[in-house]
Chain A
Amino acid sequence: MMVKFEKGSSFLHRLNPIAKLSVVVAYSLIVFLLASLRLELLCIAAVLVMERITGSRQVCAFMLSRFVLALVVVVLIMQAVMTHSGTVLITVPLYFTRLRITDAGLLNGMVIAMRFVSVVMVGALFVATTDPVDLLYSLMRIGVPYRYGFMAILALRLTTVFEQEAKTLTNAQKMRGLNVDESGIRGLMRCVRCTVIPLLVCALSHVDDLVVSMEGRAFGCKKTRTFVTEDRYGLLDKALILGCLSLVLLTVLDIVFGWYPLPHLRP
């Protein structure tokens, strides 16, 4: 299960990518600073509401995928096992030692797991509602060197080309009797070898073509370049960026000066 950008007209889709990125950064920072299960759950609920508004179902589907669920369980168990303070709830006898699960350990595990869920969810929502190309153009417009920005744009462009080429390679292999599903580990290794080399050859050929095309259109000859399409920042975009910056700044200052105690774990 992969999260991909889905076109849409929700207010999240319409937000400027930089404003959305600011929210994601601020949200992730705050989520990491808050050590409260209630607040973590509240953040998750907020992301779920946002997903509902966009009309997408990708975030929930992604979070419920076996891979993510397994990661969440591993994070929870690791934290629960590693924290030794608090009242012991369960003791598991092992050959060499005993595992003790304490109430503090369990709570700590749940908070860290919810943090993980929260950050992954907001990231997934960002990916599902933001065109990566728009994001890269926006980043270049606010000062990210365009050489790096276009590196990422070309990578996105070539991804689809390579997907197509990998499919053709697999078809060509099947037509000559190589079947990855039936040949075990040795066959799998053979398939990988037979796929990697032709893909590499094709990639190099694409790189040659792109070099000719880009150099021939003066790519990289100036330090800056013109961007005809300007980024549009609406009132909400500006308010969000400003709000996020203020929130991050205030939080950092609070940590430094200790004005207001941030929530911490209390079993």
Chain B
Amino acid sequence: MRLQRLRKRTEGDIVSARLQPNGSSRVFPAISIRDLSFCFPDRSLPALRNISFEVAEGEFVVITGSSGSGKSALALAMAGYIPHVVEGTMTGEVRVCGACTTEFALCDLAVAISLCQQDPEAQMCTFTVDDEVRFGPENLALPVAEVLRREEESLAAIDCLHLKGRKTVGLSGGEKQRVALASMLAMNPRVLILDEPTSNLDPEAAHEVLLAVEKLRQSRKITLVIIEHRLSPLLRLADRLIVMAQGEIRLAGKPDEVYRQYVARLHDECGVIAQPPTPDTETSAEGPIVLDVRDLRFKRREVEVLHGVSLKVRRGEFIGIIGANGSGKTTFLECLAGLNQPDSGDIEVRGVNTRGVKVSTIARDIGFVFQNPNHQIFENTVGAEVSFASGNFGLDPEITARTAHRVLSEFDLKSYEEFHPLRLSHGEKRRLNLCSVLPHGPGIIMLDEPFIGQDPLNAAKIMAAALRLKHEGYTVLIVSHDIDMVFRYCTRILLFDAGRVLIDDVPQMARRRIREIGKISFLPDEP
């Protein structure tokens, strides 16, 4: 009943809620959280525990922490989705511009606070940039002139006026993220929350989005809360850095200070998990050639996306493939796996030309871990999932079971053997994906964007697993936007640019050559 009545409140009510009962006006904090705890249904541990903090109007706060530390739950609570949409038990209080989120309907809160999600593609409701940016104001039934004014202002605020009239399907990753940002800005919120806005983007697109955020901060006095794993580009912009762990705030304060403490802690933990390799490229460069690609060309919808790629990979090499979105990295891996048939050129896997060879035959030699963990989980238990491929290849069940047990133990997943794979965390699913391509002994492992949505600790665990495979004699190819990770661990770097291999060298040389050609966004942070 109460919510039904409150649903009728309008934007004006939020503003009036900012006035004290005695009539004297004072500015409320943009966000005020007191003793907030939240527990998802069917979970024993709370996602948020006694969180209390305030964000002043116009402040820029960055929140970071490990996967499952409660960052996204906190964002949902701040924006009012908890308790209005997300089920669970909430205690404590969240106020946005003075208005308690439990007392206002979500659509009323939407004019005060907006949440921009991680995947811009997934949150788009329409087909054109114009419709997408207008979507919110149109839902508010604002006059046409006001809707158009907001559309213009929102796009201008993040330098996206040139995207007007475009279809969303043809936009790059960075453009999509900026359009998602503009569509939230069109609601005219006082507070904007961005949940990992750059995690799906290549370094150039991520840079574009952060420039847009910077411009937004300058042009509007908006309060910004960004949840992010990649902290270094945000440090100079943010006023405060909050580090979360196990549903609690562990560190909070000036970005530089907190970052130093956080990184020191992470280095201790990650360094133990995945030690960066010493230069051992000499040994790996002497192994037999396991992949030989000659003048590979591939067309998609009549447009050539790979223009004569040539490459020789030796056994035991650990190759990091970097490049902008759409530069052909994933298409290249798909060609190697036989999922894309090249228009011309040759690919030899362990000396066998793959032209006309079935994918399932190539799969005996190449294990391919795709980008989204949920796209490659097919069985009902973790144990069955790991044995899935071996069963399909008709390998001996006893040997398969033994290998599966060994692999699960090596990847810290043994205790989950009887669990449903979908019950695992994102990081655990990623490790399971990697486990699942090993028992049939493919020899070459390809990982497509294994670090998306992973905190540094989980990323280090994946890297440690990949390093272990390399030491066991596997050849590993990793496509990633995490430039630091690639340069830290890989023994050879390939930079793709518009369907060509622009640079193919050992990390030290690749760093120098990338700097020379001016593609500085593909350089790792200075150690």
9 A-B pairs with the lowest CB-CB distances in the bound complex, closest first: A177-B392, A221-B107, A217-B136, A213-B123, A176-B389, A209-B122, A194-B378, A172-B376, A218-B107
Which of A26-34, A195-203, A255-263 lies on the face that meets chain B? A195-203
Residues 7-55 (chain A) with a chain B CB within 8 angstroms: none
Asked whether, in the complex, the Cβ of A225 is within 8 Å of the Cβ of B123, the reply is no
Asked whether, in the complex, the Cβ of A174 is within 8 Å of the Cβ of B360, the reply is yes
Which of B112-120, B466-474, B502-510 lies on the face that meets chain A? B112-120
Which of B226-234, B364-372, B493-501 lies on the face that meets chain A? B364-372
Provide 10 A-B residue pairs closer than 8 Å at the C-beta atoms, listed in order of the A residue: A153-B126, A160-B169, A174-B359, A176-B392, A179-B359, A210-B123, A219-B135, A220-B107, A225-B138, A226-B140
Contacts of B184 in A (CB 8 A): 216-217
Contacts of A206 in B (CB 8 A): 122
Given contacts A165-B375, A217-B184, A221-B139, 12 further A-B contacts (CB under 8 A): A153-B126, A157-B125, A173-B378, A174-B360, A175-B359, A176-B436, A177-B440, A202-B372, A216-B184, A217-B114, A217-B136, A224-B141
A246 in the interface (beta carbon within 8 A)? no
- Of all chain A residues, the one with the shortest Cβ separation from B391 is A177
Asked whether, in the complex, the Cβ of B136 is within 8 Å of the Cβ of A212, the reply is no
Asked whether, in the complex, the Cβ of B125 is within 8 Å of the Cβ of A214, the reply is yes
A212 in contact with B360 given A198-B377, A201-B374, A228-B148 (CB within 8 Å): no
Asked whether, in the complex, the Cβ of A198 is within 8 Å of the Cβ of B110, the reply is no
Q: Which of A174, A175, A216, A226 contacts B137 (CB 8 A)?
A: A226
Q: Which of B79, B111, B123, B367 has the most chain A CB atoms closer than 10 A to its own CB?
A: B123
Contacts of A228 in B (CB 8 A): 130, 134, 138, 144, 147-148, 151
Asked whether, in the complex, the Cβ of B117 is within 8 Å of the Cβ of A213, the reply is yes
- Of all chain B residues, the one with the shortest Cβ separation from A187 is B392
B142 in the interface (beta carbon within 8 A)? yes
A72 to chain B, nearest CB (A): 33
A205 in the interface (beta carbon within 8 A)? yes
Q: What CA separation (Å) do A189 and B184 show in the bound complex?
A: 43
B195 to chain A, nearest CB (A): 9
Asked whether, in the complex, the Cβ of B134 is within 8 Å of the Cβ of A225, the reply is no
Q: How many residues does chain B have at the interface if contact means C-beta atoms less than 8 Å apart?
A: 69
A247 in the interface (beta carbon within 8 A)? no
Contact with A along B425-457 (1 / 0, CB 8 A): 000000000001100100000000000000000
Contact with B along A169-190 (1 / 0, CB 8 A): 1011111111100000000000
Contacts of B115 in A (CB 8 A): 212, 216
Contact with B along A130-155 (1 / 0, CB 8 A): 00010000000000000000100110
Q: Which of A165, A172, A198, A224 has the most chain B CB atoms closer than 10 A to its own CB?
A: A172
Contacts of A202 in B (CB 8 A): 372, 374-375
Asked whether, in the complex, the Cβ of B358 is within 8 Å of the Cβ of A179, the reply is yes
Contacts of B376 in A (CB 8 A): 169, 172, 176, 198
- Of all chain B residues, the one with the shortest Cβ separation from A160 is B169
A266 to chain B, nearest CB (A): 51
Q: What CA separation (Å) do A168 and B377 show in the bound complex?
A: 12
Q: Which of A179, A212, A218, A227 contacts B140 (CB 8 A)?
A: A218
Q: What CA separation (Å) do A59 and B366 show in the bound complex?
A: 44
A98 in the interface (beta carbon within 8 A)? no
Contact with A along B337-362 (1 / 0, CB 8 A): 10100000000000000000011100
Asked whether, in the complex, the Cβ of A168 is within 8 Å of the Cβ of B375, the reply is yes
Q: What CA separation (Å) do A209 and B120 show in the bound complex?
A: 9
B267 in the interface (beta carbon within 8 A)? no
A207 to chain B, nearest CB (A): 10
Q: What CA separation (Å) do A217 and B391 show in the bound complex?
A: 48
A177 in contact with B393 given A220-B107, A226-B138, A226-B147 (CB within 8 Å): yes
B401 in the interface (beta carbon within 8 A)? no
Q: Which of B117, B368, B388, B393 contacts A212 (CB 8 A)?
A: B117
Asked whether, in the complex, the Cβ of B139 is within 8 Å of the Cβ of A175, the reply is no
A222 in the interface (beta carbon within 8 A)? yes
Contacts of B130 in A (CB 8 A): 228
Asked whether, in the complex, the Cβ of A168 is within 8 Å of the Cβ of B370, the reply is yes
Asked whether, in the complex, the Cβ of A218 is within 8 Å of the Cβ of B81, the reply is no
A211 in the interface (beta carbon within 8 A)? yes
The interface residues of chain A, by DSSP majority, are classed as helix
Asked whether, in the complex, the Cβ of B139 is within 8 Å of the Cβ of A219, the reply is yes
B99 in the interface (beta carbon within 8 A)? no
Asked whether, in the complex, the Cβ of A222 is within 8 Å of the Cβ of B124, the reply is no
Asked whether, in the complex, the Cβ of A218 is within 8 Å of the Cβ of B393, the reply is no
Q: What CA separation (Å) do A218 and B84 show in the bound complex?
A: 13
Asked whether, in the complex, the Cβ of B110 is within 8 Å of the Cβ of A218, the reply is yes
Contacts of A226 in B (CB 8 A): 137-138, 140-144, 147
Q: What CA separation (Å) do A146 and B27 show in the bound complex?
A: 37
Asked whether, in the complex, the Cβ of B136 is within 8 Å of the Cβ of A218, the reply is yes
A199 to chain B, nearest CB (A): 9
Asked whether, in the complex, the Cβ of A157 is within 8 Å of the Cβ of B370, the reply is no
Asked whether, in the complex, the Cβ of B126 is within 8 Å of the Cβ of A221, the reply is no
Q: What CA separation (Å) do A153 and B135 show in the bound complex?
A: 13
B121 in the interface (beta carbon within 8 A)? yes
Q: What CA separation (Å) do A146 and B364 show in the bound complex?
A: 51
Q: What CA separation (Å) do A220 and B110 show in the bound complex?
A: 12
Q: What CA separation (Å) do A216 and B375 show in the bound complex?
A: 28
A218 in contact with B377 given A160-B169, A175-B363 (CB within 8 Å): no
B389 to chain A, nearest CB (A): 4
Asked whether, in the complex, the Cβ of B139 is within 8 Å of the Cβ of A217, the reply is yes
Asked whether, in the complex, the Cβ of A215 is within 8 Å of the Cβ of B125, the reply is no
Contacts of B477 in A (CB 8 A): none
B7 in the interface (beta carbon within 8 A)? yes
Q: What CA separation (Å) do A238 and B169 show in the bound complex?
A: 33
Contacts of B440 in A (CB 8 A): 177
A239 in the interface (beta carbon within 8 A)? no
Asked whether, in the complex, the Cβ of B117 is within 8 Å of the Cβ of A217, the reply is no
B77 in the interface (beta carbon within 8 A)? no
Contacts of A219 in B (CB 8 A): 107, 125, 135, 139
- Of all chain B residues, the one with the shortest Cβ separation from A170 is B339
Q: What CA separation (Å) do A133 and B167 show in the bound complex?
A: 12
Contacts of A236 in B (CB 8 A): none
Contacts of A154 in B (CB 8 A): 125
Contacts of B122 in A (CB 8 A): 205-206, 209-210, 213
A161 in the interface (beta carbon within 8 A)? yes
Contacts of B374 in A (CB 8 A): 198, 201-202, 205
Contacts of A197 in B (CB 8 A): 378
Q: What CA separation (Å) do A66 and B24 show in the bound complex?
A: 78
- Of all chain B residues, the one with the shortest Cβ separation from A167 is B339
Q: Which of A154, A193, A212, A216 has the most chain B CB atoms closer than 10 A to its own CB?
A: A216
- Of all chain B residues, the one with the shortest Cβ separation from A183 is B392
Q: What CA separation (Å) do A197 and B377 show in the bound complex?
A: 9
Asked whether, in the complex, the Cβ of A227 is within 8 Å of the Cβ of B125, the reply is no
Q: Which of A161, A175, A194 contacts B437 (CB 8 A)?
A: A175
